[in-house]
Amino acid sequence: MAEVLLTADAARSLVDSVDAFLFDCDGVIWKGDELIEGVPETLELLRKMGKKLVFVTNNSRKSRKQYSKKFKSLGLDVTEEEIFTSSFAAAMFLKLNNFPPEKKVYVVGEDGILEELKLAGFECFGGPEDGKKNIMLEANFYFDHDKSVGAVIVGLDQYFNYYKMQYASLCIRENPGCLFIATNRDPTGHMISSQEWPGAGTMVAAVSCSVQKEPIVVGKPSSFLMDFLLKSYNLETSRMCMVGDRLDTDILFGQNTGCKTLLVMSGVTTLPELQSASNTIHPDLYTNTVHDLVQLLEP
């Protein structure tokens, strides 16, 4: 299948055919804490054209409130209501599925998940604090865990360790009905601007291997995030465009939910990967960066 490069005609046709643009963040809006060139101008132009903008990220390290602060620190005016994170999706999954209030949630992840769970009214523990804990593998050592844990959520965790892996594994294996939820399965991510780092998928894979069970995934490419988005915006998915840098999450998410798709080369995916004979995920359009929209739409 021949890939379609974004041209001036294609850009005009795209913006005329959609009412909302859904943007991934890492590799599209920023890399680490550095804004990608041309992003402010692009967002400003699309807002002036009356387009709704939504930011959909698999990165669970921050809550929506924390992401709103990050946007502001980078000079971007984005409201909390325009941000949909996998940490928020995990909390909402529990809420929608009537997670018992007497049950606790164990978190392999960072503050974003903990904050969203607390805002949703759930009792949770783990997170960065458990990154400080060690295990002594000695004779007669017994590792105890909380039997009231009813769900384990695994996301990106720079403090991931053997203690957390064992705690999560025991809860999933031994607590009856304990849910195993993954924020996403991204293998890598741009945690800093200069290079990729292991993503949440590596932590999820470790726990999954230990318990020999597949998780419920709430982030992209799962359609769960879209279900929430549609409740917030009175739009049809056919009138949305998903803009992302990953084929296996962003573009697949868009395709799974009926959106138009635009791949940008400012993050993970390279042109050779896109054009590889082994690639089975093809966006509607591709371009270098989101700023190309501005340049192509200029009269």
What's the chain look like in SS3?
Answer: CCCCECCHHHHHHHHHHCCEEEECCECCCEECCEECCCHHHHHHHHHHCCCEEEEEECCCCCCHHHHHHHHHHCCCCCCHHHEEEHHHHHHHHHHHCCCCCCCEEEEECCHHHHHHHHHCCCEEEEHHHHHHCCCCCCCCCCCCCCCCEEEEEECCCCCCCHHHHHHHHHHHHHCCCCEEEECCCCCEEEEECCEEEECHHHHHHHHHHHHCCCCEECCCCCCHHHHHHHHHCCCCHHHEEEEECCHHHHHHHHHHHCCEEEEECCCCCCHHHHHCCCCCCCCCEEECCCHHHHHHHCC
- d(CA 191, CA 198) in angstroms, rounded, equals 9
Residue 157 among the catalytic residues = no
Marked catalytic residue, from 19, 111, 146, 227 = 19
> Exposure string (b/e) for 221-246, b if CB count within 10 Å is 16 or more?
bbebbbebbeeeeeeebeebbbbbbb
- d(CA 124, CA 106) in angstroms, rounded, equals 6
Q: Which residues are catalytic?
A: 19
